[in-house]
C-alpha cells in the first residue's frame, strides 16, 4: 500500500496530547499541506490562525464548549483555526476549508503527530469564536485542529464499504 493510503487508513482523531511543543518547521509543513488542498477554480479561500498562547486556547475552549466537542484544545500545544473568506468563494468555501483541514490532519499524522478535527461551521460556537478573534463578517470558521504528540492510541473502526456504495441511485 502506498504512503498516502497508509496515512488515510492509519490516521486517528486524537483528543489527548502530550505537552511537548511542536517545532516551527514542522508546523509550517503542516500549514503548507493545508495550502495545497483543492479548491473551486483554485480560489484558495482559506485563512489559518495559529494559536499557541495558553490564555487564548482557554478562551477558545470556553467558546467551543458552547455547542461542540472541544476535547484537546487546552492540551494540544498548537490549535489551528481553519477559516474561509466567503468574499473569495461564496459558494464552495466550506468544501475548501474541509479539504485544507483534512490535508493538515493527514500531514500531522505522517509527521508522527496527532490532530483532532473539531467542526465549527454553522454551530453556536462559530459566532463566539468569530467574536473572540474579531473576524470580519465574511470570514467563517470551518474547523479547529488541535495538533500535538498523541497521548492516546485509539483504534480505527469503519463500517463495511458496501454500505456506502450505490449504483445509479440510493435505494433503501
| Domain edges within the chain | 3-151
**Quick one: which of 145, 120, 121, 149 has its CA closest to 50?**
145
Of the pLDDT bands very low, low, confident and very high (cuts 50, 70, 90), residue 150 is very high
pTM for the whole thing? 0.92
Say what the pLDDT of residue 4 is: 87
- C-alpha span between 51 and 77 (Å, rounded): 8
Contacts of 98 (CB under 8 A, 6+ apart): 142, 143
Q: What is the assigned CATH class of domain 3-151?
A: alpha beta
The 10s digit of each residue's pLDDT in 26-38 is 999 999 999 999 9
Q: Give the H/E segment covering residue 83.
A: strand 78-85
CB atoms within 10 A of CB 52: 13
Amino acid at each position: 500500500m502506498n504512503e498516502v493510503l497508509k496515512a488515510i487508513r492509519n490516521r486517528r482523531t486524537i483528543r489527548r496530547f502530550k505537552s511537548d511543543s511542536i517545532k516551527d518547521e514542522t508546523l509550517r509543513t503542516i500549514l503548507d499541506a493545508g495550502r495545497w488542498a483543492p479548491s473551486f477554480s483554485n480560489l484558495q479561500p482559506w485563512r489559518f490562525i495559529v494559536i499557541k498562547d495558553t490564555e487564548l486556547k482557554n478562551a477558545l475552549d470556553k467558546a467551543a464548549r458552547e455547542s461542540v466537542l472541544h476535547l484537546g484544545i487546552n492540551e494540544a500545544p498548537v490549535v489551528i483555526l481553519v477559516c474561509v473568506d466567503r468574499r473569495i468563494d461564496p459558494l464552495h468555501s466550506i468544501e475548501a476549508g474541509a479539504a485544507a483541514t483534512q490535508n493538515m490532519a493527514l500531514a500531522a499524522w505522517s509527521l508522527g503527530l496527532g490532530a483532532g478535527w473539531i467542526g465549527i461551521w454553522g454551530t453556536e460556537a462559530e459566532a463566539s469564536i468569530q467574536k473572540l478573534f474579531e473576524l470580519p463578517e465574511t470570514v467563517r470558521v470551518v474547523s479547529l485542529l488541535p495538533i500535538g504528540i498523541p497521548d492516546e492510541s485509539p483504534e480505527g473502526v469503519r463500517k463495511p464499504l458496501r454500505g456506502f456504495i450505490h449504483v445509479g441511485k440510493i435505494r433503501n
